[in-house]
Structure 1
Amino acid sequence: MSLDLTATTAALAAATADLSRLLPGRTLDPVLAGLLLTADATGVTLAATDRERGVRLHAEAVAHTDGQVLVPAKPLAETLAALDSPDVRLVVEGSRLAIRTPGGRFALPLLAADSHPGVPAPPAAAGSVRGADLHAAVLPVASAASRDDALPVFTGVRLRAKAGRLVAVATDRYRMAAADLPWIGVDEDLDVLIPAALFTEVAKQARAAERVTVHADADRAALTWDSATVTTAVLASALPDEDKLFPRDVECSLTLDGAALAGAVRRVAPYAGARGAVTLETGDGELRVRGSDPQAGEAEETIKAGVHGNRVSRGYQAKYLLETLRWFGGDEVRIDIQPGIRGTMFSHVTAPAVRLRYLVVPLRQPN
């Protein structure tokens, strides 16, 4: 094995940290826990896989000797993150990869690079989106996905082409979020379910990319941008059609300042009791936010709102309202309340390029 390169420490440390976030160490197999480094005239490529996911990133470097080595990923990332030297040299010395700075040497064991499965090429491209649009869509949508791995279908973000837009949807059965964004499509039949946690990290890292390309086939999905590639096995089941759940029969609609409502809910929440429930009650040109608990006491706050329709009163988990409203910031929000305990939809009054709709299921009122 041979490899000898010099790189900016910050750039190489950032690349290894990005890879670690995309592919957390979840395997006891030392080969799959390894990081494959390939140095050539273009710089250094970092690759890793756990067989379900694969990541390939690129960093600028000067290769003195082309080559490829496999080393333990975690200690490499931790060592690079701790260095204060502006530049670092990685060079094979016998059975070790030495990490050299002017004042130090750190050596990692070389693993069996020939045993590493590598990162497969992505499936065919389905289309592309702006990195900023993907970030604006995926973060709020993924926040509605479940964290419970016992029900994998609810831990994913459904991504599909629909009427010339790209639609992202997630739900944990108590909330549903959907965002649609502009895209340049090649495959208008795109419909895949991607793990939400991975998708969130990809959206963060690709935020500044001019274009992010979506790839998919029946078994795998991939996202590529600049010189980065992330592949993943897709989740098996599709989520329900969001259009069947978003409001058709609205009992009351409101328009109000999202930040004002979030502030009111936040202040009333300490009085929400063991259920964490706050009540939204409409009035003439206003919305009242209430909380009551025999031990904690009671609170009520009123904010201005445009109210259209019947007077209604609904209870919600305060944490779900706050999670929803954080994605609307200080924008004007429309709230559509359906009859009974059907979901209440939050959306922008003036839709931006990335349109977000967030559905929150109200609580059953105690008898």
Structure 2
Amino acid sequence: MKFRVERDVLAEAVTWVARGLPMRPAVPVLAGVLIDAGTDGTVTLSAFDYEVSARITVTAEVAEPGTVLVLGKLLSEIARNLPADKPVDIATDGSKVQVTCGSSRFALLQMPASDYPTLPTQPEASGTIDGATFAQAVSQVAVAADRGDTLPILTGVRVEIEGDKVTFLATDRYRLAMREFTWNPAAADASHIALIPARTLSETARSLGSGGSVAVALGQAAGGDGLVGFEAGQRHSTSRLLDGEYPKVAKIFPATSEIEAVVKTSDLIEAVKRVALVAERNTPVRLKFTSGQVDIEAGTGDDAQASEAVEATLDGADIDIAFNPGFLLDGLGALHTPYARFSFTAALKPAMLTGQAEVDGSPELSYRYVLQPVRLTS
């Protein structure tokens, strides 16, 4: 194998493919990146850990086609640190892979490519999503997915597709996030339900959602397990789906509310961040909504204390409620709107957070974030 490729092209490609390589691979070859130089003037780089696969194809001057497997993290580090604005020559030399760029030369050990598992076949596209919409929707919902491993099913984002409507849903039992949007289905009667690992979905959205559209494919892997595929340009990735019945949490969204409060989002975020500086781990921040303002407080008794007032409009009775500050900031940061609307039924019942463009406008219900309050001890 022998080919020449632009340094920046190689660095971007190998960094993208190697981003998901396991820290502790089950078998050594899974730490590798497979490089396949074809006869059509392209080079394909691939990575796979039996759960997630990534593949990218770039243009190169291929002198001798061939396939090699090398340590992915090492190749990524080398590619990013090669001299700029110079081509990179990669060629096999016995049991080594020579990487040359200007006067820089590296010799990497070949790994046994014959032992590398076959990447899953990309399912047929089920439809396409605008890249920016996809990236924003995933970021808004994934914040609510569980980060632990007590209930693996809650580490996923539930994706429900009916026709041209897509619903993302995630919860960790303390908060619940839902985002609805439209896409371009391959079939008008498209109907799918899938549970995608939140971490994988987030990484995919960040790397593929920067522009254009993202093709989404839902199907099955060779072993019969559920599989989702994503494609944007020459970048392709797949992930196995989580298996299990997702809890019926949509009913948690309150149908009515007794109290509504609207606050400028950026002002409240900054105030909560400042007040939460004195809040010890798992200590809530207290929000007292009254006519014209909300008072944010943290700390009691002999502990450090902080308070700040932010202008707010209130429709309904005064309410005194407390939240985990991190969970509250996650929801506020996911709104992407100038104003935040809180909908309450009672101080100890879940509160719903939505966004709106104007202080006296209507809430944008395409994104809803429900937060379980913390019981106040005093």
Q: Same fold (TM over 0.5)?
A: yes
Letter in 1 for 2:113: A
Instruction: Return the match for 1:287 from 279, 287, 294.
Output: 294
Give the Cα separation in 2 of the matches to 1:92 and 1:261: 58
2:223 maps to which residue? none
1:114 maps to which residue? 114
Give the Cα separation in 2 of the matches to 1:26 and 1:296: 42
- Correspondence list, 1:76-95, <5 A: 76-85=75-84, 86-95=86-95
1:50 maps to which residue? 49
Aligned residue pairs: how many? 365
Give the Cα separation in 2 of the matches to 1:275 and 1:245: 23
TM-score by length of 2: 0.90
Give the Cα separation in 1 of the matches to 2:131 and 2:219: 22
1:355 maps to which residue? 366
Question: What is the Cα deviation at residue 280 of structure 1?
Answer: 1.2
Q: Deviations over 1:104-135 (max 9, x none)?
A: 32111222222222212122322210111111
Give the Cα separation in 2 of the matches to 1:317 and 1:338: 18
Q: Deviations over 1:130-179 (max 9, x none)?
A: 11111111112112111112321111111121463211111111111111
TM-score by length of 1: 0.92
- Correspondence list, 1:1-367, <5 A: 3-40=1-38, 41-85=40-84, 86-162=86-162, 164-186=164-186, 188-217=190-219, 219-273=226-280, 275-329=282-336, 331-350=338-357, 355-366=366-377
% identity of equivalent residues: 29
The answer (yes or no) to whether the contact 1:7–1:61 under 8 Å persists in 2 is yes
Query: What do you get for the CA RMSD once the two structures are aligned?
Result: 2.2
> Which stretch shifts more, 180-189 or 268-277?
268-277
Question: What is the Cα deviation at residue 300 of structure 1?
Answer: 2.6
Give the Cα separation in 1 of the matches to 2:363 and 2:98: 50
For structure 1, the residue ranges without an aligned partner over 5 or more in a row are none
> Which stretch shifts more, 241-250 or 255-264?
241-250
Give the Cα separation in 2 of the matches to 1:152 and 1:310: 40
The answer (yes or no) to whether the contact 2:320–2:347 under 8 Å persists in 1 is no
Q: Secondary structure at the match of 1:327?
A: helix
| Alpha carbons of structure 1 residues 193 and 26: separation in structure 2 relative to 1, 3 Å | farther
Q: Secondary structure at the match of 2:368?
A: strand
| Alpha carbons of structure 1 residues 163 and 121: separation in structure 2 relative to 1, 3 Å | closer
The answer (yes or no) to whether the contact 1:259–1:329 under 8 Å persists in 2 is no
The answer (yes or no) to whether the contact 1:209–1:226 under 8 Å persists in 2 is no
| Alpha carbons of structure 1 residues 131 and 22: separation in structure 2 relative to 1, 3 Å | farther
Question: What is the Cα deviation at residue 71 of structure 1?
Answer: 1.7
| Alpha carbons of structure 1 residues 275 and 92: separation in structure 2 relative to 1, 3 Å | closer
> Which stretch shifts more, 157-166 or 317-326?
157-166
Q: Deviations over 1:208-249 (max 9, x none)?
A: 231111111351111111111111111112433453111113
Letter in 1 for 2:316: G
The answer (yes or no) to whether the contact 1:30–1:72 under 8 Å persists in 2 is no
Question: What is the Cα deviation at residue 340 of structure 1?
Answer: 4.7
For structure 2, the residue ranges without an aligned partner over 5 or more in a row are 221-225
Give the Cα separation in 2 of the matches to 1:186 and 1:111: 40
